[in-house]
């Protein structure tokens, strides 16, 4: 494995003020907007670790604990929690701030997995992860367990046969 890189070196925070174009029919922020921001934050953190382009290969299930309102400041804190040979898991902690009152609500936490690519678009080895704190070490252990579950799920997936291929 390549020489290691610290968790703190690729930790990032992405914030966006939620406007009316982010609304769903109920007038709150659309869940897809939050997912996209998570993917952007996770991808950026993974790229900072790998110093290579990355693609998303897996997104763990996402649950939203409370709505995000139009006018809130949505913030995603992203960090790499576990690294395989070519894949990286990132943790996304999402909060929404009422800018007028300063009240901050934790809306959800999610885990997205990326694969680093070489110039030919093939999966390429990434630096190992250096954990400096007990919290980072715990997250890394949990990340390894989550990845094992993902790969087991992938193994059990039944391929879909498309009926209407024209080729």
Ligand X SMILES: CC(C)(COP(=O)(O)OP(=O)(O)OC[C@H]1O[C@@H](n2cnc3c(N)ncnc32)[C@H](O)[C@@H]1OP(=O)(O)O)[C@@H](O)C(=O)NCCC(=O)NCCS
- According to the binding rule CB under 6 A, does residue 2 interact with ligand X? no
* CA-to-CA separations, 144 to 33, 84, 165, in angstroms, rounded: 28, 8, 38
Task: Candidates 28, 72, 87, 108: give the one binding ligand X (CB under 6 A).
Answer: 87
Q: How far is the CB of 3 from ligand X (least distance, A)?
A: 17
Piece in contact with ligand X (CB under 6 A), picked from 22-30, 44-52, 66-74, 84-92: 84-92
Burial class (CB in 10 A: 0-12, 13-18, 19+), 105: middle
- Cβ-closest residue to ligand X? 84
Piece in contact with ligand X (CB under 6 A), picked from 25-33, 74-82, 94-102, 149-157: 149-157
- According to the binding rule CB under 6 A, does residue 36 interact with ligand X? no
Beta strands 127-130 and 2-6, pairing class: parallel
Task: Candidates 12, 58, 73, 130: give the one binding ligand X (CB under 6 A).
Answer: 58
Q: How far is the CB of 150 from ligand X (least distance, A)?
A: 4
User: 26: which 2 tokens?
Assistant: 């109920």
Q: How far is the CB of 146 from ligand X (least distance, A)?
A: 9
Q: How many other C-beta atoms can be found within 10 angstroms of the C-beta atom of residue 139?
A: 22
What SS3 class is residue 40? helix
Q: Which of 46, 12, 13, 7 is nearest to 133 (CA)?
A: 7
User: 150: which 2 tokens?
Assistant: 């993902």
**Where in 100-139 is the site for ligand X (CB under 6 A)?**
113, 115, 123
- According to the binding rule CB under 6 A, does residue 85 interact with ligand X? yes
Piece in contact with ligand X (CB under 6 A), picked from 26-34, 80-88, 102-110, 131-139: 80-88
User: What are the phi and psi torsion angles at 6 (to 5°)?
Assistant: -70, 150
| Unique residue bearing structure tokens 């885990």 | 111
């Amino acid at each position: 494995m390549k020489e290691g890189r610290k968790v703190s070196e690729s930790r990032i925070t992405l914030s966006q003020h939620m406007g009316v174009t982010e609304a769903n029919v109920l007038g709150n922020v659309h869940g897809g907007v939050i997912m996209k921001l998570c993917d952007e934050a996770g991808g950026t953190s993974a790229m900072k670790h790998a110093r290579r382009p990355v693609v998303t290969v897996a997104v763990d299930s996402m649950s939203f604990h409370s709505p995000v309102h139009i006018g809130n400041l949505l913030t995603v804190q992203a960090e790499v929690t576990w690294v395989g040979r070519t894949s990286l898991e990132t943790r996304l902690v999402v909060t929404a701030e009422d800018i007028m009152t300063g009240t901050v609500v934790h809306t959800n936490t999610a885990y997205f997995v990326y694969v680093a690519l070489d110039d030919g678009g093939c999966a390429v080895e990434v630096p190992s992860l250096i954990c400096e704190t007990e919290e980072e070490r715990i997250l890394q252990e949990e990340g390894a367990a989550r990845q094992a579950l993902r790969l087991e799920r992938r193994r059990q997936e039944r391929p879909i046969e498309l009926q209407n291929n024209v080729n």
